[in-house]
Chain A
Amino acid sequence: MQFVMVLSALGPTAEAVEAAVSFAAAKGARLAVVFVLDESVSGAIFEKLTDIGFIGEKPGTELESAVSAEYRRQAEESLVEVERAARAHGVEITSEITIGEFLDKSLDAVAKHAADTLIVIRTRQSWLSRVFGSTSISELIRTAPCDIKVFEA
């Protein structure tokens, strides 16, 4: 059985990672962890800063690079943490960092690993944003071609 766990910069907590890995262990599944670095997140922040903060192009670009580098460092740390948790539960694991949009890269990972179950972690949402919002995770729930397990951080 193959599980794919997709992480993003805004989501994971130790509790959610632990719960997800325990779930994989309970099902006796192998785990492929993909951390999606969504560059549109830092891009959107700096588009806003340029507009409302009137930050110059060069400081804006330098800042964006610094944020992207920090996200990558944090992604590497998150993967190490999941790997450690998986090994502690005796779960066989592979991990990678990929750049792109969360939804696209999640579906790519499902296809690449022929996943039986997709595990994602999301932040808590109000009922209003669940009804009217169209987050990447809600899109993923609708479109994933396999079982999907969502843990709330």
Chain B
Amino acid sequence: MTPAGGARVFVDTRPMVVVLAARSARYLGFLAIAAIFWGIVSWPTPAGLTEPGKLALAIFVVCLLLWISQLLPLAITSLFALAALPLTGVMSSQEAFALFGNEAVFFIMGAFILAAAMVKSGLSSRVALLFLRRFGTSDRRLILGLLLAPAFMAFWMPEHAVAAIMFPICLEIVNSLKLRPRRSVFGKAVFVAAAYGAIIGGVATFLGGARNPLAIGILKQSTGITIGFFEWMTAVVPLVLFLLLVAYFLILKLFVSEISDVSGAVSALEARTRELGVVSGQEKMISTIVLAAILSWIFLGNAMGLANIAIVAVVFLFVFKLVSWKDIEDYVNWGVILMYGGAIALGFAMDSTQAAAWVADSTILSRQLTPLALILVIAVTAILLTEGISNAAVVAILMPLGLSIARKYGLDPKVITLAIAVPSGLAYMLPMSTPPNAIAYSSGFIGIRDMVKIGSVLALTTVVSFMVLVRFYWPLLGLDI
């Protein structure tokens, strides 16, 4: 109803209990989390768990609930962990804030700045278009190009940035072919291919998703062991190639194209490429610096340090005036630094206080599993969790527990790190599970049912192929189980 001259007033006719619950849900959530924290803290310390361990566990549970419920932004939850650890006496302020300066955090920062330079200069769009033009001669080849272009790009820059670059290109393709949202099957294939290409490619290196260096950061902080850039690629790239192949055939099978002529799309891609003009000096310089950084990470990463290489590359961007600080501020979300710094500190606290070991003992370790079955449980847990919550949060939650499990079982912690980090990056089923899916879904061409249908098959294939890799391929690299 609208009172004369006044604002419109709505009368909520739902039952009072439902109305009150809906309006106060957020605050009830905080109260419930605070009560759980208080419950754990005041609970008599069980055998095998130390007092600092109990406090670290209470903070971990609070962060876990906040990351899952997203009552607070992820980065703010991490920041809370950083303050809560000294406040509860789990570690000193100096220790907690020193962990924020972990090498992985600075590597992530450097990698994001390099990616920002590539996006700002238009270099990333040019690479995507060049890739697509080589493929776009038939509907099937265009889908292959849409899968491979973002996958290749996500090897070298964050997958969400790749998805953002691909979105206008995909729109150009569907509009040039006059495809209708929700009705065109080929339109669905276009957006699914671009999203899955970015997601699958994003697990191949440390650069595709910052969760990978986060996992390495927690591994190194807790065990002193690390995984090199090249070592990671060697272990994961075969899986990536296989999953791209499976995704390609699944897309062709489940989204049978209703069109045969893609010449309109080819013309549109050519026009878009022409708009970019000739390769600029700035693009050439940025590609040289990025290439040098990548080669250094691969061949000199262990000797020089990944973060050091990233930072030196960033300095060169500024030496040659290829970007301005304003550009970096526009393109880099600093929340990522807060999220990862806090997550590393929390992971270290869980490990150093033996809280993670106690949790692992009380849950999965009470059952006698074979190492392979244990890795299967971890990988499945990671792939299921990542459908519901941010993949960085999955890494932050599972890594401390996983490393304790590795210690108890005498497993190589590198294997556990890969078993958590790789599946946690492969969220296929829901729009909100990862930015590439959300971006694809926002096009209006794909429905949730489409994503669940193809995503569930791909998730199952991922788990099976991942286990085959663990069992037969990784031992050849010295990653024994």
Q: Which DSSP category, helix, strand, loop or mixed, fits chain A's interface?
A: helix
Interface contact A53-B435, CB-CB below 8 Å: yes
Residues of B contacting A57 with CB < 8 Å? 329-331, 333
Q: How far is the CA of A56 from the CA of B11 in the complex (A)?
A: 40
Tell me if A96 is interfacial: C-beta within 8 Å of chain B.
Answer: no
Q: How far is the CA of A13 from the CA of B182 in the complex (A)?
A: 8
- Please tell me the number of chain A residues within 8 Å of chain B, measured between CB atoms: 39
Interface contact A54-B10, CB-CB below 8 Å: no
Residues of A contacting B210 with CB < 8 Å? 54
Interface contact A55-B167, CB-CB below 8 Å: no
Quick check: which of A18-26, A58-66, A86-94, A113-121 contacts chain B, the rest being far away? A58-66
Q: A66-B168, A142-B13, A143-B11 are in contact. Are A53 and B434 (CB under 8 A)?
A: yes
Q: A63-B439, A77-B180, A143-B1 are in contact. Are A54 and B333 (CB under 8 A)?
A: yes
With a 10 A CB-CB cut-off, give which of A51, A132, A145 has the most chain B CB atoms. Answer: A51
Residues of B contacting A142 with CB < 8 Å? 10-13
Q: A13-B182, A71-B444, A74-B181 are in contact. Are A54 and B339 (CB under 8 A)?
A: yes
Tell me if A146 is interfacial: C-beta within 8 Å of chain B.
Answer: no
Interface residues of B in 416-445 (CB under 8 A from A): 432, 434-435, 438-439, 442-444
Residue in contact with A70 in the complex, picked from B8, B73, B164, B171, CB distance below 8 Å:
B171
Residues of A contacting B161 with CB < 8 Å? 55-56, 59
Residues of A contacting B335 with CB < 8 Å? 50-51, 54
Q: How far is the CA of A67 from the CA of B182 in the complex (A)?
A: 15
Residues of B contacting A132 with CB < 8 Å? 18, 22
Q: How far is the CA of A45 from the CA of B163 in the complex (A)?
A: 14
Residue in contact with A52 in the complex, picked from B116, B181, B183, B435, CB distance below 8 Å:
B435
Interface contact A70-B332, CB-CB below 8 Å: no
Residues of B contacting A59 with CB < 8 Å? 119, 161, 164, 331
Tell me if B14 is interfacial: C-beta within 8 Å of chain A.
Answer: yes
Q: How far is the CA of A80 from the CA of B181 in the complex (A)?
A: 14
Residues of A contacting B205 with CB < 8 Å? none
Q: How far is the CA of A53 from the CA of B183 in the complex (A)?
A: 29
**Least Cβ distance of A129 to chain B in Å?**
12
Residues of B contacting A56 with CB < 8 Å? 116, 161, 330-333
Interface contact B70-A51, CB-CB below 8 Å: yes
Residues of A contacting B221 with CB < 8 Å? none
Residue in contact with B444 in the complex, picked from A9, A49, A51, A63, CB distance below 8 Å:
A9
Residue in contact with B438 in the complex, picked from A9, A13, A45, A134, CB distance below 8 Å:
A45
Residue in contact with A55 in the complex, picked from B18, B168, B180, B333, CB distance below 8 Å:
B333
Tell me if A76 is interfacial: C-beta within 8 Å of chain B.
Answer: no
Tell me if A147 is interfacial: C-beta within 8 Å of chain B.
Answer: no
Q: How far is the CA of A49 from the CA of B168 in the complex (A)?
A: 17
Tell me if A79 is interfacial: C-beta within 8 Å of chain B.
Answer: no
Q: How far is the CA of A143 from the CA of B434 in the complex (A)?
A: 37
Residue in contact with B164 in the complex, picked from A13, A55, A107, CB distance below 8 Å:
A55
Q: How far is the CA of A60 from the CA of B116 in the complex (A)?
A: 13
Interface contact A104-B332, CB-CB below 8 Å: no
- Which chain B residue shows the least CB distance to A42? B442
Q: How far is the CA of A121 from the CA of B461 in the complex (A)?
A: 37
Q: A51-B70, A70-B443, A104-B8 are in contact. Are A62 and B435 (CB under 8 A)?
A: no
Q: Mark B residues whose CB is within 8 Å of A.
A: 1-2, 8, 10-14, 18, 22, 70, 73-75, 116, 119, 160-161, 164, 167-168, 171, 175, 180-183, 210, 329-333, 335-336, 339, 390, 432, 434-435, 438-439, 442-444
- Other A-B contacts than A10-B444, A52-B70, A62-B164, 16 sampled, CB-CB below 8 A, are A13-B182, A14-B183, A45-B438, A51-B74, A56-B161, A56-B333, A59-B119, A67-B442, A70-B171, A70-B443, A73-B175, A134-B12, A139-B10, A143-B10, A143-B11, A145-B1
Q: Mark A residues whose CB is within 8 Å of B.
A: 9-10, 13-14, 42, 45, 48-60, 62-63, 66-67, 70-71, 73-74, 77, 103-104, 107, 111, 131-132, 134, 139, 142-143, 145
The 14 listed contacts between A and B (C-beta, < 8 Å) are: A10-B444, A50-B333, A52-B434, A53-B160, A54-B75, A54-B333, A56-B116, A57-B333, A71-B444, A104-B8, A131-B18, A132-B22, A142-B10, A142-B12
